[in-house]
Structure 1
Amino acid sequence: MTMKKYARVVNGKVDNIFETVNPITEEFAPQQVWVDITGRDIYQVDYDYIATNYNGVWTFNSEFPWSLSELGKKLREEKAKRFDSVVANLAASDLQAKVDLGIATAAETAYLTALNEYFVAFMQVNKQPGYPQTITWPQLP
């Protein structure tokens, strides 16, 4: 399976960007407008970009050179800050190795499970109603 990247278009603008291996209609309601943007980078498609469909071909923010939207920058910075903090803590510990080797305590195993649940919730914040204007970040265990 290959990871695909999609942009949701609402009122002529990109309001969400989502990556998945599943069909996008399994992740979100099928009546939403999602455009496959796999292979395009953030300078070509970003939050708040104007999206236009000309005879079945989608264009995004036709100005050149493309610039990142302020909303996109803020979202990426906040997500990176939160993600990097957790990854650094996890990498510094031997928790995963202990669980893999079967020598972790019950508390360590439960904590790793909680961290994995956090990562899933963290990576799916853009499925929340009101995203990206309203985000409820998951709490670190």
Structure 2
Amino acid sequence: MSIYARVQGGFVMEIIAPAFDSDGVEVQISDRFTPDIVAMLADVTKENPAPLPGYAAAEANGSWTFGVYVPPAPTATEIVEQNTATMDSLLSQAALSIAPLQDSMDLGIATSAETSLLTAWKQYRVAVNRVDLTAWPAAWPVHP
């Protein structure tokens, strides 16, 4: 009973289970798939533990190795870019929450709950602006 992994781009894309004909005889993989597909297959019948889709796969000298994929750490530039995008999104959300509260304050009709919430949102906005954008992961404050 043969089990295969379809490997593409250094990753296990799928596991192909054995197939049997009506007499219970295993159908050879070369009879089931085109040569192009067979060329992308690794026999994982004896692998223990068996690889899963998403695992990293590497071939050297006709032998395969498999392992859980660990993504590379982001670069300093990627960290700043991602944190800046998160900060922009959080500041936009804060602005949308602050605007109607600030309007009620400006009009002199704010309730005590609105006044407290406005203060909390402004404190949150200041805290978001103070987050270290070079840190990974960044310590984002919790919104009110």
TM-score using structure 1 length? 0.43
**Based on CA coordinates, which of the two structures has the bigger radius of gyration?**
2
TM-score using structure 2 length? 0.42
